[in-house]
Chain A
Amino acid sequence: MADVRRVISILVENESSVLSRVSGLFAGRGYNIETLTVAPIPDTNRSRITIVTKGSKRVIEQITKQLHKLIPVYKVVEHDEMVEKEMILAKFPIEENLSDIQALCQAYNGGIANVGADMIIGMVTDEPCRIKHFLEATKRYNPIEVVRGGVVAIER
């Protein structure tokens, strides 16, 4: 069976060990984590964990079922129709062309986040495949450091 990419949202009780239960399950059963994002859901005692994973259909089915079995897990959503975003922060030397970098960041739903004495920081937020293109495009501006956030997704 061919591997497929899946975005899975996990709604969990907001308790100290819940993230290790989830990540431990992936490690222990040999499932793959490409990205993982976690934050509390406002005005509740729950958190949302968003995981991007890859696996055969059978493995993906097992992942959702095994996640369901964890006691503090309320809900597991295997996204199908969704809006999916990922964020990048990138630091460039001040010598690079500032307006070029600004234009590039704007093309990917972003802009300049900060300008310092010897560097500029650009920020973009876009779909994962476009994020890849952005990373390609930044190479010619000699980025000093690139920080990539995990995927967050919401059902359409």
Chain B
Amino acid sequence: MKMNGARMVCEAIIAEGTKTVFGYPGGAIMNVYDEIYKQDGFEHILNRHEQASVHAADGYARATGEVGVAMVTSGPGFTNAVTGLATAYMDSIPLVVISGQVPLSLIGTDGFQEIDAVGISRPCTKHNYLVRELSELPRILKEAFHIARSGRPGPVLVDIPKDITAEIGEFVYPNSVNIPSYKPTTKGNKRQIDKAVEAILKAKKPLLYIGGGAVLSNASDLIRKLALMGGIPAVETLMARGVMGDSNPLLQGMLGMHGNYSSNMAMSETDLVISLGARFDDRVTGKLSEFAKYADVIHIDIDPANISKLVDVDYPIVGDITIVLEKIIAGLEDKIKPERYSDWRDVLNRYNELHPLTFQDSDDVIKPQWVVERVGELLGEKAIVTSDVGQHQMWTAQHYPFDRPRQWINSGGLGTMGFGFPAALGAKKGYPEKTVINFTGDGSILMNMQELVTASEYKIPVINIILNNHFLGMVRQWQSFFYDNRFAETDLSYQPNFKALAESCGGIGYDVTTKEEFDKALKDAIEKDRVTFINVAINRFENVLPMVPAGGALYNMILADQKEEK
């Protein structure tokens, strides 16, 4: 069928099954928007900033497991999208971002709104394309979706010059992809798998170390099965919260810089780390030479470059966790005995009794941890929870009772403030029947607050809970601990009227200073079904604890019962 390049872009998006596209028009992408206007195969959401469009597509992808799609124009439209691309890249989220480009004849002339998009995005995309001929557009679009979702997922940018979107040519969307230089390994080496099974059977203190790859691979059921059949304790990274389920007695909690005591001690004392899609990030390992010092390491990862990047691995297995775990579980069946590790579980249980994850609640002032736990009690499994970046993110990761993967959406690798609100919009578009809560701070929320307008216009009722300490809290905490209380540029006492701000954009606002007010506001917000700011005044100097100081060994934690703020 003959059509212009712009329509080809729309046809590809429809063929890939994406139901919602987030974007912002402009000169170089106008031909595509003209075709979007004419079609009804997908909905387009007009965010009020391109960064938010990419984060929204990202939230959609994280919640649904499908490829998210965002569309931006050339120049500033693209550069605004870069933070979104980098955020998705660091957390391996499948996205296809379409950007307009100046016409081919103008490339390299410093044309109006011209910028080298493939050059800028090279280090923060899995792959990118500048389309040079209309005839290659269908293949490139097909490849973009394939590369985004296969292997270790990631964002792919397709930069299309304006004249190519106007040109008319034959369109046949390819059925299959053949990229000879790109064949991800998924199956796992049988010999290594057999060796890993032997190692598990020989270990006395094995530990499942679960990372974000477990979520991406949809391996949660298999991981729970493996843990249960062997009685093997587990720890989750920030990105893996929900994989084991909060009520699972084998789950120690989150490990790392703000991990709880038994998780970090488990990692320090284990004799066999079974790493499932985790990448030994510095926020997880602390001082590398002390990390899992007594352990052999089984590392299952779809990206070979993650293996032995930071920690020497004894049993490297390159493959998809789901496929590899099926084989490991088959190998362990009838051989593994949960009793074997009961001493080990007892040790960890004692650690947990000694220093449980806790906080000092108060009747005079709202504690942020109380807010998170309260929302967990009221909504629990029913909510999808997103967050921005900072103290509130850590409190949410620590205290929310996550029951399932893809329930928890946050920017882990890049740590992008302003991610939570637009990501919540994307998650809500993916699951309109779920309540979507964004835990945010008084710093982060201002970085994409324009999305109040988007949420109101398109009736995407997400609830933003602002844990407001009038500080850039996480930086303030570091200044308290390591910079002798010199609060350089972290005092956010000068604030907007959050309630009025929400209302001026068509949302609802609540100012909350007591627990009763909070309960009332949350119930009201859920009933009213509109975009909401719940501005919660919390204890100003609350810290995120436990804390492993940067570069310190995991077992050297500053614990809550040792450091109480007045």
Contacts and interface: CB of A to CB of B under 8 A. Distances in A.
Interface in A41-68: 58, 61-62, 65-66, 68
Nearest to B307: A65
B83 to A, nearest CB: 17
Interface string B279-305: 000000000000000000000000111
B1 interface: no
Contact of A21 (B122, B147, B180): B122
B308 interface: yes
Interface in B155-183: 179-182
Contacts of A61: 308
A24 B304 contact: no
Nearest to A13: B181
Interface string A4-44: 00000000110001001100100010000000000000000
Given A17-B118, A20-B122, A65 B304 contact: yes
B119 interface: yes
Given A69-B303, A71-B182, A58 B122 contact: no
A74 B304 contact: no
B224 interface: no
Given A61-B308, A65-B304, A66-B305, A71 B179 contact: yes
Interface string B122-143: 1100110010000000000000
Nearest to A17: B118
Contacts of B182: 71
A51 to B, nearest CB: 17
Contact of A62 (B122, B179, B180, B309): B309
The winner among B122, B130, B303 for most chain A CB atoms within 10 A is: B122
Contacts of A24: 122-123
B145 to A, nearest CB: 14
Given A17-B118, A20-B119, A24-B123, A74 B181 contact: yes
Contacts of A13: 181
A152 interface: no
A150 interface: no
A124 interface: no
Interface in B182-207: 182
A71 B127 contact: yes
The winner among A28, A65, A72, A73 for most chain B CB atoms within 10 A is: A65
B317 to A, nearest CB: 15
Contacts of A73: 181
B407 to A, nearest CB: 30
B122 A72 contact: no
A28 to B, nearest CB: 5
Nearest to B154: A69
A68 B147 CA distance: 14
A45 B181 CA distance: 13
Contacts of A28: 123
A69 B154 CA distance: 12
Contacts of A69: 303, 305
B47 to A, nearest CB: 29
A45 to B, nearest CB: 11
Contacts of A66: 305
B119 A65 contact: no
Given A24-B123, A65-B305, A69-B305, A17 B130 contact: yes
A62 B311 CA distance: 12
A34 B179 CA distance: 31
A21 B118 CA distance: 10
B305 A62 contact: yes
A61 B312 CA distance: 12
Interface in A68-85: 68-69, 71-74
The winner among B118, B122, B180, B181 for most chain A CB atoms within 10 A is: B181
Contacts of B130: 17
A26 B309 CA distance: 16
A13 B180 CA distance: 10
Interface string B107-127: 000000000001100110011
B184 to A, nearest CB: 10
Interface of B: 118-119, 122-123, 126-127, 130, 147, 179-182, 303-305, 308-309
List of 6 A-B pairs having minimum Cβ-Cβ separation, nearest first: A65-B305, A74-B181, A71-B127, A28-B123, A71-B182, A65-B304
5 contacts: A13-B181, A17-B122, A20-B122, A58-B308, A68-B304
Interface of A: 12-13, 17, 20-21, 24, 28, 58, 61-62, 65-66, 68-69, 71-74
Given A13-B181, A62-B309, A65-B305, 18 more contacts: A12-B181, A17-B118, A17-B130, A24-B123, A28-B123, A58-B308, A58-B309, A62-B305, A65-B304, A66-B305, A69-B303, A71-B147, A71-B179, A71-B182, A72-B181, A73-B181, A74-B180, A74-B181
